[in-house]
């Protein structure tokens, strides 16, 4: 297979489904801010199609890509080299073309930390953290939370073995602990609770005791839109001081990716404000 002669620098998001993704709009806005053109498209790829589609993308001048569900772990396997967070997470959301291969990075965690510290003004240092979920989303953020200086990370997951695997992958047994959902009532209070399951899109979140929410606790759902509503409602009812959805993290992880591709980090506030407005309009129209 040869590179087409009129190859242009291309960027893309791979996932399934990708019809409603916000990523092309986010990257188009970043490119406008930078004053440069950028060809960024959403490519719907089932896991069995992904290796072939990614190879074709590279031949056609693909220089970078984002990867979303359900391809993040598979993407890690297709990379020649992994960044530290991607290695520990076992998942990749950003691909950067390096020579004839791919460097795989995970920018989700840095995106979350940036959203919490810069946009929401939270100091994460010393926090006692509960991470609900142990799938790709949870694995993607755990390394950056630890790096940001939290004290302890407690992981609960419907399938306990996955929580154990996440804890093992972090390699910090003194700081990362696993617990059963049934024991949530005995865990005391937390100062940061991160909801990283996809339960709201399925049968719903398991019941959470309100006593988990400590003084000055921040509750964060990595989802946004409808999928974040149940947990954020629980957090407000539990009197959490800060209640945050995943929209800010989405924009920040995209900015991190953009920076890896172009060596330039966009100003994220205008894009965030535009998406927040759009989302508020959607919610109020329902
Ligand atoms: P993602 O990349 O979004 O994390 P994933 O890797 O499929 O997707 O993980 C989904 C997460 O949501 C997992 O923690 C999953 O728990 P299991 O590991 O037990 O599957 C969690 N999850 C999904 N539906 C759930 C439900 N109804 N109740 C509790 N947890 C649920």
CA distance 84 to 86: 6
**Is 279 a member of any domain?**
no
- Does residue 36 share a domain with residue 158? no
Q: Using the structure block, give the residue that is written with the tokens 């954020």.
A: 232
Per-residue pLDDT of 223-241, as tens digits, reads 999 999 999 999 999 999 9
- Does residue 209 share a domain with residue 163? yes
- Does residue 129 share a domain with residue 227? yes
- The preferred substitution site among 130, 140, 158, 203 for testing ligand 1, maximizing ligand atoms within 8 Å of CB, is 158
Q: pTM for the complete prediction?
A: 0.94
CA angle 218/161/51 to nearest 5° reads: 90
CA distance 165 to 167: 5
**Is 280 a member of any domain?**
no
The range of the structural domain enclosing residue 20 comes to 10-108+248-270
| 181 ligand 1 Cβ < 6 A | no
What is the number of the ligand 1 atom nearest to the C-alpha of 137? 4
| 158 ligand 1 Cβ < 6 A | yes
| 69 ligand 1 Cβ < 6 A | yes
For helices 269-285 and 247-262, give the axis angle rounded to 10 degrees: 150
> Considering its fold, how many domains does the chain have in total?
2
Q: CA dihedral in degrees (132, 135, 140, 143; nearest 10)?
A: 60
72 is a catalytic site residue: yes
- Does residue 237 share a domain with residue 140? yes
| 207 ligand 1 Cβ < 6 A | no
- Does residue 171 share a domain with residue 214? yes
- Does residue 125 share a domain with residue 99? no
CATH number of the domain that residue 74 is part of: 3.40.50.10860
Q: Which of 43, 66, 68, 72 is catalytic?
A: 72
**Is 282 a member of any domain?**
no
Per-residue pLDDT of 24-73, as tens digits, reads 999 999 999 999 888 999 999 999 999 999 999 999 999 999 999 899 99
- Does residue 163 share a domain with residue 116? yes
CA angle 129/197/29 to nearest 5° reads: 95
**Is 49 a member of any domain?**
yes
**Is 59 a member of any domain?**
yes
């Amino acid at each position: 297979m040869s590179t087409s002669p009129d190859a242009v620098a291309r960027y893309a998001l791979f996932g399934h489904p990708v019809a409603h993704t916000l990523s092309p709009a986010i990257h188009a806005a970043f490119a406008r801010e930078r004053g440069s053109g950028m060809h960024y498209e959403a490519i719907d790829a089932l896991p069995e199609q992904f290796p072939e589609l990614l190879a074709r993308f590279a031949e056609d001048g693909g220089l970078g890509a984002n990867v979303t569900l359900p391809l993040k772990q598979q993407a890690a396997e297709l990379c020649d080299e992994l960044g530290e967070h991607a290695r520990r997470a076992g998942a990749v959301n950003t691909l950067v073309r390096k020579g004839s291969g791919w460097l795989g990075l995970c920018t989700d965690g840095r995106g979350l930390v940036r959203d919490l510290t810069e946009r929401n003004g939270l100091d994460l240092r010393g926090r006692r953290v509960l991470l609900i979920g142990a799938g790709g989303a949870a694995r993607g953020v755990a390394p950056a939370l630890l790096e940001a200086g939290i004290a302890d990370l407690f992981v609960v997951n419907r399938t306990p073995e996955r929580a154990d695997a996440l804890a093992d992958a972090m390699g910090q047994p003194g700081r990362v602990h696993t617990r059963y959902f049934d024991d949530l009532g005995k865990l005391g209070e937390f100062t940061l609770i991160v909801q990283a399951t996809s339960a709201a899109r399925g049968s719903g979140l398991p019941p959470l005791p309100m006593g988990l929410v400590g003084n000055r606790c921040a509750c964060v759902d990595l989802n946004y839109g409808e999928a974040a509503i149940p947990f954020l409602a629980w957090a407000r009812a539990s009197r959490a001081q800060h209640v945050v959805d995943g929209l800010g993290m989405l924009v920040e992880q995209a900015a991190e990716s953009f920076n890896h591709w172009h060596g330039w980090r966009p100003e994220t506030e205008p894009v965030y404000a535009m998406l927040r407005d759009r989302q508020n309009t959607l919610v109020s129209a329902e």
